[in-house]
Amino acid sequence: MERKIINQSVMQSLEPIDIELVGSDDFLEDKDETILTYNKDLLVSGGWKGNGGLYVVNPAKDDIQKMYDGYYAGLTKYNDGFMALKQPNNLYIFDKKLKVQEVLEVEDKSIKGLHDIKLSGDGFLYIISTHNNKIIVLDEKTLKKQREIILSKPGIDLHHINDLFITENSLLLSMFSVKGGWKGKPIEQWDGGIVEFDRQTFNPKGIIIDHLKAPHSITMKNNSLYYCDSLNLNVSKFDLTTKQKEIVTRFNGFTRGLYFDNHILVVGQSEMRHLQRLNNRFPNVSLDGGFHLYDCKSHNRRFIKLPVSNPYSIVPYY
């Protein structure tokens, strides 16, 4: 197994760069679909304080079913079923009816902080171990560990890496601090961003988007990168053509978890962990956990409250 450590001095020397990506998947016309008639099942993971687990939610029916207990984070479709990360260190594989097929130990039992999980499309599975500054690469078929990439040093949450987006040649990684060092600092000093890494060498190329506060949940749609600028309580986008970023919509809570269904954007909202740091920045901050249905055309939204404080990932369950 290959193990690579990227020195903190390398991360601290990174500069903003332009990224060369080609977007796709324009919004599809669906005149009958609205946020009030959205009659589709969604699979939502969550945890932290009480009632954590996996939930199947149908917004139109106001139906919320808890399928499993526990603190679940990263979630992705896998073959005909799903994969989910359960704290502190397990990978669960489910069939399409959410029956457990296999449980694997990803890290040592002393390690906590598994966050995101993504399939590359060419045979690899990427898992983020946030508190260890680590990206773990598994073979998709054998589920054997192939590589480890560590930013700065293991065992200390310097960057709080949490989510990634995979292209043919690159990894885009969101983090609370690019240079490494955010804990104990005022939020104004957090240097959050999205950094591009070469997929083959894992060398960092540079900063794609900077000046973010606790970013999460990177995805691509309509020739733009979308992401949660979580502690700025918004969803933003970076246009791949103009190289400009703009706020898509702002809510009144911590944003994390994105799923696009045509023109409907599903956005997770978590209970605020850093409320004391935001009291002077926003006049209204929500303490509710759940998700928003946001219509990108009409700019209307609906909030679905869930019995879990910190929703993490949202994927279609149909």
pLDDT > 60? residue 210: yes
Per-residue pLDDT of 159-197, as tens digits, reads: 999 999 999 999 999 999 999 989 889 888 999 999 999
Could you tell me which CATH class the domain 2-316 is placed in?
A: mainly beta
pLDDT at position 187 is: 87
pLDDT > 90? residue 22: no
pLDDT at position 8 is: 92
pLDDT, averaged across the chain: 91
Cβ partners under 8 Å of residue 115, min gap 6: 73, 74, 85, 128, 129, 130, 161, 162, 163, 312
Per-residue pLDDT of 38-97, as tens digits, reads: 999 999 999 977 789 999 999 999 999 999 999 999 999 999 999 999 998 899 999 999
Predicted structure pTM score: 0.94
pLDDT > 60? residue 284: yes
- Distance (Å, whole) CA 238 – CA 227: 8
Q: Distance of alpha carbon 268 from its chain centroid, rounded?
A: 10
Starting from the edge strand earliest in sequence, which strands make up the sheet with 100-105, in order? 72-78, 81-86, 90-94, 100-105
Other beta carbons within 10 Å of 293: 21
pLDDT > 70? residue 109: no
pLDDT > 70? residue 297: yes
Asked if residue 179 lies in contact with residue 151, where contact means CB atoms within 8 angstroms, the answer is no
Q: Quickly state the pLDDT bin for 156 (edges 50, 70, 90).
A: confident
pLDDT at position 111 is: 66
Domain ranges of the chain: 2-316
- Distance (Å, whole) CA 253 – CA 289: 9
